[in-house]
Structure 1
């Protein structure tokens, strides 16, 4: 059974551990010291910024992280996405990771994404579109999106999080049913 709850400060050691895992760090190019995790996730946990971080558990064991926000709440991200594809002001986006490598390749990612999409339609009634840019080289991520029902709507040059990546991104879209 998969469950979800908002990320809490007490989860930061686990998030730091996940960010240090090679399969996560490759695509989530974050520092993973406790100070860096506090810097990157603390404001959302305290409600000081509009983005949301969700801890995902399978059978009571935390396995991943889901982030959600309205893109317009982050002007630089909105500008970059708008340059790539038509982006309504009400568009939302998601980001996700599976920290436990033993849970990868088992459908957890696509299940997490489907959940987040359904919750977004419920929680953000003004949002009719979810757009998710993914580095083209991140095969596991874009395949999880496709399994969850997303449609690739664009290829775009965007600044990657990890400097070793090419700039090519695939942009995926969910439309409100």
Structure 2
């Protein structure tokens, strides 16, 4: 069975209240553990919207309605991230990574997350023609997330300890990989 169609639309400043709401949604808050205040969302997402950060931000859209957020970025733009990942797995030069969330509870369990992931990987490869890999670490306990990655076409690449997004989680992570 194929993935549902998902379009990516660049995130706009007018979308930030929606992002605040999504980050405060209990399941998203559980795994993202991100301050959902307008000030924090502006601080963390505003520079990318303005083009001052290499991270590309998109809303996942299905039937014209936003349901999720995905960010695509070159791993090497964040040296601390390369240093954290390198002991767990090889990080090929030019590798990308993505972070994503399905913010609308009624959008979950319908394949939209996997569709958004697949669209983000395709967009990342299109925007970064020299990138051959997209590496995505996920906490082992976040089963829905890594299953969505597998459904989108990723392979299980490596396992190891990484700093969890939420300090209540153990450091156990699985790194998934998409290859061009």
Q: Name the TM-score class by shorter chain.
A: over 0.9
1:39 to 15, 36, 43: 43
Which SS does the other structure have where 1:90 is aligned?
A: coil
Q: Which residue in the other structure is 1:110 paired with?
A: 114
CA distance in 1, matches of 2:8, 2:91: 28
Pick which of 66-75 and 78-87 moved more.
78-87
Matches within 5 A, 1:26-65: 26-65=30-69
**How many residue pairs get matched?**
176
Q: Which residue in the other structure is 1:161 paired with?
A: 165
Q: TM-score, normalised by structure 2?
A: 0.95
Q: Which residue in the other structure is 1:119 paired with?
A: 123
Q: TM-score, normalised by structure 1?
A: 0.97
Question: How many angstroms does 1:82 deviate by?
Answer: 1.3
CA distance in 2, matches of 1:139, 1:113: 15
Q: Give the unaligned 5+ runs of structure 1.
A: none
Higher relative contact order (CA 8 A, sep 6+): 2
Q: Give the unaligned 5+ runs of structure 2.
A: none
1:81-110: CA deviation from partner (whole Å, max 9, x where unpaired): 112100022000011100001000100011
Q: Which residue in the other structure is 2:25 paired with?
A: 21
